[in-house]
Amino acid sequence: MAKVVLTSASKNFVDNDIRDAVSRSFDLLGYNYPKKVDTVVLKPNLCYYWDYSTGETTDPRVISVIIDYLRAKFGENVSIFVAEADATAMKTKYSFKLLGYEKLSQAKNVELLNLSEGEIVEKQVSIRNNTITLPVNKMLLESDLVINVPKLRTHNLVGMTCSLKNMFGAISKPRKFSYHKNLDAIIVAINKLVKSDICIVDGLIARGKYPKKMGLILAGDDALATDFVVAKILGFNPRAIGHLKLAEKENVGDVNNTELIEDKTSLKEAKKLFPGSSFLLHRLSWGLQLKLLDVYLKLSGDVSPPFLKA
Amino acid sequence: MLRVGVIGLGKMGQLHFLNALHMKDVKLVAIADKSKRNRNVAESYHIKAYDDYTKLIDSEELDVAIISLPNFLKEESIVYAAEKSLDVFVDKPLARNLAEATRIAEKVKKQGVRLMTGVNYRYFDSVQRLKDMLDEGRVGDVVIATADLILNGPLGHGRVPTPVPEWWLSKEKAGGGALLDLGYHLIDLMNWMFGDLHVEYSSLGYRFQLPVEDGAMVVLRSGKSKVNCCVNAGWFSKSIFPDFNFRVNLHGTVGYKSTDNFAPKNLRLHAIKAASCNLLRKATGRKMKYLSYTYYYHSFFKILELFFDAIQKDTELPISLKEEIDVIKIIDDVYKRNGADLNG
C-alpha cells in the first residue's frame, strides 16, 4: 500500500516552520529504510534559472532540512549528493550557483552532482511494448536511496509537474527538448528505470495561474501515488494527465490503495487554496496565436523576431 | 544602394539581418558568424556566410558593418571595420568600459567613419510620445524622473529554450551585468531627456551570486536641468513574453506622465490591430510598419532604418557617439564606486 502525507508549514512560513513540516512529513511517512544507507541522492527540480520564490524551482531550505534529517538518521558519514542534469537551456553549474545550491553545499558539506557528467549508462526499458533507451547517471542507479524533491505546479506541456516529471530532468542528455514529442512515454520510462524511494514535494510556493504561498509539504513512498494526490490539489483528474495515466498502466506505482495522511491541512483545503489554471486552454490559445502569426507573416511578408522561432 | 554586412548572427544579429533584408536601398551582401547553425540561417536566405568577420570585411565590398558580437569582441571588430573605412552600427553597449569606448571613439574619428549605437528604446512609440510631451512642456519642469527595466536579461529564453551564452556571466567578457545590459538603455534615455548627468548614489545587487550584478539602482542628477533621475535595472525577474517590465515616469510641476500611459495595455490586442493595419498598408501599396505587431521590436527596425537613412543622405546620425560615451562614463563611475570595475 502506498502512503502519502500532506502537511502544512503554515502560509506565512519561516525557516523553522519549514524544518518542522519537512521533519514531520518524514516521521509521519514512516518509511521502511534499507538496513544500510551510505549514499543518498537528492533530486530537486532546478529546471531553469528561476528563483524558488517564483514557485518554479525547489526551495534550497527544503533540501537543507532533508540533509539534516538524513544525517540525524544515518549519521554524519552518510554521503549526500544533490543532483540535477543539464537541460536544453540550463546548465547545472549555473543553476546550482544562481539558485543558492552552491552556498548550501558549502554550508552543509554535501556534493553537487551534475547528472550529465561522470559515468553514464544507456538503459533500456519497454513502454507500450516499445523499447526506449535513455542515458542515466550511474550514481542514480547505485545509490542506496533516491529522494525526489519536486515542485508542486502546473506545466504547459504535460499539465502538471511533480515527482514523475521531475525525474525526466534527471536524464543525462542535456538536449531533452528532443524528447518533447514523446514526453509522456519518456517520463514514464525514466521512472521505470530510476525508482524514487521517497518523494518530498515542495509546495511551499505553488505555481498555478500565478505563484502562491501555500506552505504545503507532501511526502510519499510511491511517486505515482504522490502525483495522484498532487493532481487533485491542482484541480485535475489524475487519469486525465497523460503521463500519470500511462504510468498507472505501466505499473510504475500503486494508486488503488493509497493511505493519505492529512496533517494540519486537508486535500480539500489545499485544492481550494491553489490558484488553478487550464493548461489545455493555454496550449490552445498559444497554438491559435502562433497559427495566426504564421498566416499574417505569409500574407504580409513582415519580419518574425528570432525569439519566436520554433 | 548601401552594401551591408552583418557580423554576429546571434539573436540580435538575426533580428538586424532580417530587418536589413526588408529595407529599401540596402543590399545585404554577407554575414559572418563562428557558429555553423547561425551561418545556416543566412544561407537559407541565399546570403553568403563567412566563419570569420575579418574574412567578410576583407573579401566583400561593403559600406556598412552591423556589429552584433559579444561585448568582449566589440572593440577589436569596430576597430577592424573602421580601418577598412566602414561605417558601423553596433548593438549596445558600445563597449565594456570607458577606456574601450574612448579608444573606439578615437579610432572612428581618426578613420573618418561613422558609428552609431543601437539604443532602440528611444524609438518605442511610448517613449517618443513621452519625449514629445516633455519637449512641449506638458509636464512642466520635471523634478523627478524614474526609469525601470527589470526582466530576465540574458537568463530569459524565447519560444524554444536555448542555452545562455556563457560570456554574459563573465565579468571580464561582458564588462558588467544588468546595469551595462539594461541600465544602459535607461541612462541613455535620461541623458537624452535631461543631459549633463552625474551619479549621486548607486547600489548594485547580487541576488544570484553571479560575478556580475543582477540588479542596479542609480540616482543621477542633471547639472543642466536639476532633475533627479532614479534608474532601476535588473535581471532577477522571471518574465515571459509578451510581458515587458519597462517604464519611464516623469514627475513635473504640471503633473505626471508615464510611458505606461502610451504603451498598449494588452499586447495581444495590439498585435491584432497592428497586423491588420499592416495588411491594409500592403493591400493599398503603402509602406509597411515592420514588426509593429510586436510593439517593442519595431524600434529595432526603426533605429536601423534611421541609421541607413543618415548614411545614405550623409546627414547627422540620430544618436551621437558623444552621447554614448556619456552613458558609458556614468556606468564606469558606478562600477568604480561599487568596486565592480574590471580592476575592482
Amino acid at residue number A47: C
What separation in angstroms does the CA of B234 have from each of A40, B141, B158, B206? Answer: 37, 29, 18, 10
Of A196, A206, A254, A190, give the one whose Cα is nearest residue A228.
A254
DSSP SS3 for B55? helix
Q: Which of A154-158, B58-62, B209-213 has the lowest mean pLDDT?
A: A154-158
Tell whether B157 and B185 lie within a shared domain. yes
Tell whether B185 and B127 lie within a shared domain. yes
DSSP notation for B225-254: T--EEEEEEES-S---TT---EEEEEEESS
Give the model's pLDDT for residue A11: 82
What separation in angstroms does the CA of A116 have from each of A161, A177, A191? Answer: 21, 15, 17
C-alpha B7, offset from chain centre:
16
Chain A residues whose C-beta sits inside 8 Å of any chain B C-beta: 48-51, 54, 56, 87-91, 94, 97-100, 102-103, 177, 289, 296, 299-310
Chain B residues whose C-beta sits inside 8 Å of any chain A C-beta: 11, 14-15, 18-19, 22, 152, 155, 157-164, 169, 207-210, 236, 238, 241, 268, 275, 278-279, 282, 288, 290-291, 293-294, 297, 301
Residue of A nearest to B285 (CA): A300
Give the model's pLDDT for residue A310: 65
Give the model's pLDDT for residue A156: 82
Question: Quick one: residue B25, left, alpha or beta (phi over 0 = left, psi -120 to 50 = alpha)?
Answer: left
Q: Which residues of A touch B154 (CB under 8 A)?
A: none
Categorize the per-residue pLDDT at B255 as very low, low, confident or very high, splitting at 50, 70 and 90: very high
Tell whether B22 and B130 lie within a shared domain. no
DSSP state of B151: S
Residue A122: count of CB within 10 angstroms of its CB: 9
Instruction: Confirm whether B11 is domain-assigned.
Output: yes
Domain holding B219: CATH number? 3.30.360.10
Pick A50's closest partner by Cβ from B209, B238, B241.
Answer: B238
Instruction: Confirm whether B84 is domain-assigned.
Output: yes
Q: Nearest 5 degrees, angle CA A207-CA A210-CA A211?
A: 50
How many Å apart are CA B2 and CA B4, to the nearest integer? 6
Categorize the per-residue pLDDT at B29 as very low, low, confident or very high, splitting at 50, 70 and 90: very high
Instruction: Please give the helix or strand (H or E) that residue A185 lies within, else none.
Output: helix A183-193
Tens digit of each residue's pLDDT (9 = 90 or more) over B123-145: 999 999 999 999 999 999 999 99
Output the average pLDDT for chain B: 95
Q: How many angstroms separate the CA of residue A106 from the nearest CA in chain B?
A: 14
What nine digits make up the cell of B169?
556571466
Q: Which residues of A touch B301 (CB under 8 A)?
A: 303
Task: Calculate mean pLDDT across residues B206-218.
Answer: 95
How many Å apart are CA B98 and CA B189, to the nearest integer? 19
What are the residues facing A133 on neighbouring strands? A124
Amino acid at residue number A89: A
Last residue of a domain, one of B120, B147, B176: B120
Domain holding B22: CATH number? 3.40.50.720
- With a cut of 60, say whether residue B344 has pLDDT above it: no
Instruction: Confirm whether B289 is domain-assigned.
Output: no
Of B148, B89, B52, give the one whose Cα is nearest residue B302.
B89
Tell whether B105 and B184 lie within a shared domain. no
What interface predicted TM-score (ipTM) does this complex get? 0.86
Task: Calculate mean pLDDT across residues B40-69.
Answer: 98
Tell whether B85 and B161 lie within a shared domain. no
How many Å apart are CA A19 and CA A16, to the nearest integer? 5
| Interface probe, candidates B209, B241, B267, B270, chain A, greatest A C-beta count within 10 A | B209
Categorize the per-residue pLDDT at B102 as very low, low, confident or very high, splitting at 50, 70 and 90: very high
Tell whether B149 and B10 lie within a shared domain. no
Last residue of a domain, one of B120, B151, B185: B120
What is the percentage of chain B residues whose pLDDT exceeds 70?
99
Q: Which residues of B touch A308 (CB under 8 A)?
A: 158-159, 241
Last residue of a domain, one of B120, B135, B155: B120
What separation in angstroms does the CA of A169 have from each of A12, A131, A164, A221, B155? Answer: 30, 20, 10, 20, 19
Q: Would you call A56 and B238 a contact, using CB atoms and an 8 Å cutoff? A: yes
How many Å apart are CA A44 and CA A82, to the nearest integer? 7
Q: Would you call B162 and A88 a contact, using CB atoms and an 8 Å cutoff? A: yes
Tell whether B115 and B134 lie within a shared domain. no
- With a cut of 90, say whether residue B170 has pLDDT above it: yes
Q: Would you call A49 and B164 a contact, using CB atoms and an 8 Å cutoff? A: yes
Categorize the per-residue pLDDT at B264 as very low, low, confident or very high, splitting at 50, 70 and 90: very high
Instruction: Confirm whether B310 is domain-assigned.
Output: no
Q: Which residues of A touch B293 (CB under 8 A)?
A: 296, 302
Instruction: Confirm whether B278 is domain-assigned.
Output: no
DSSP state of A71: H
Q: Would you call A307 and B241 a contact, using CB atoms and an 8 Å cutoff? A: yes
C-alpha B129, offset from chain centre:
19
Tell whether B170 and B226 lie within a shared domain. yes
Q: Are B5 and B63 in contact (CB under 8 A)?
A: no
Tell whether B180 and B145 lie within a shared domain. yes
Sign of CA dihedral A130, A131, A134, A140: positive
Q: How many angstroms separate the CA of residue A62 from the nearest CA in chain B?
A: 18
Tell whether B113 and B130 lie within a shared domain. no
Q: Are A1 and A259 in contact (CB under 8 A)?
A: yes
Tell whether B36 and B125 lie within a shared domain. no
Residue of A nearest to B163 (CA): A89
Instruction: Confirm whether B272 is domain-assigned.
Output: no
Give chain A's residues under pLDDT 50. Answer: none
Give the model's pLDDT for residue B343: 59
Q: Which residues of A touch B297 (CB under 8 A)?
A: 303, 305
Counting the structural domains of chain B, the total is 2
Instruction: Confirm whether B46 is domain-assigned.
Output: yes
Pick B294's closest partner by Cβ from A48, A99, A305.
Answer: A305
- What is the domain extent for residue B82? 2-120
Instruction: Confirm whether B290 is domain-assigned.
Output: no
Categorize the per-residue pLDDT at B242 as very low, low, confident or very high, splitting at 50, 70 and 90: confident
Tell whether B94 and B65 lie within a shared domain. yes
